[in-house]
Amino acid sequence: MERISWDHYFMAQSYLLKTRSTCERLAVGAVIVRDKRMIAGGYNGSVSGGVHCIDEGCYVIDGHCVRTIHAEMNALLQCSKFGVATEGAEIYVTHFPCLHCTKAIIQAGIKAVYYSEDYRNHPYAEQLFENAGVKMIKVEHTIGNAEESLEKAQFVEALVKKLENTNVNEQEIVSLKNRAAELFPNPLQKTNER
């Protein structure tokens, strides 16, 4: 069995944290790492003890939810709250940081930003990172083990083929095939890449 890389391991942790998000617009998770050890994590949500967007909706002003604290900020603030140094650390974020988080990341002394998904990547944020010498590294994230995903895709494909040989409505089979393709994109391509 092949071990998961450190980058994929920490990115997976940020995706796990993302599941705690209370934001209805975009769930984001972030993990701060130093010397291959997680020192803090955060997800986007409301101020501690405050009303959550999932309960009362977003509080949007000028296109931004002002109730939400971003995942990166929550992780940085956790370090501040508990006296954990961030100088020279790295941050793994599910989505490319916004301008405000970019500035906070730079000020905190973070040396590298690993992100999985582009999200309104602002050219000025990229310029700020470059000027500060902060590396920006895109890490592809695949949930779970690739072999396990392929095995599941092949199992679903076999089930759909069996259904084709029964009296199941053809439209229903097409619908199942489409859903399987969404859940397991290009399973044959993954097989050929090995």
The set of catalytic residues is 72
DSSP state of 45: B
Distance CA 60, CA 184 (A): 35
Please tell me whether residue 31 adopts helix, strand or coil conformation.
Answer: strand
Tell me which DSSP letter residue 67 carries: S
User: Which residues lie below 8 Å from residue 107, measured CB to CB, with a gap of 6+?
Assistant: none
- Chain position carrying tokens 């769930």: 27
DSSP for 82-149, written as a single string: TT---TT-EEEEEE---HHHHHHHHHTT--EEEEEE--S--HHHHHHHHHHT-EEEE----SS-HHHH
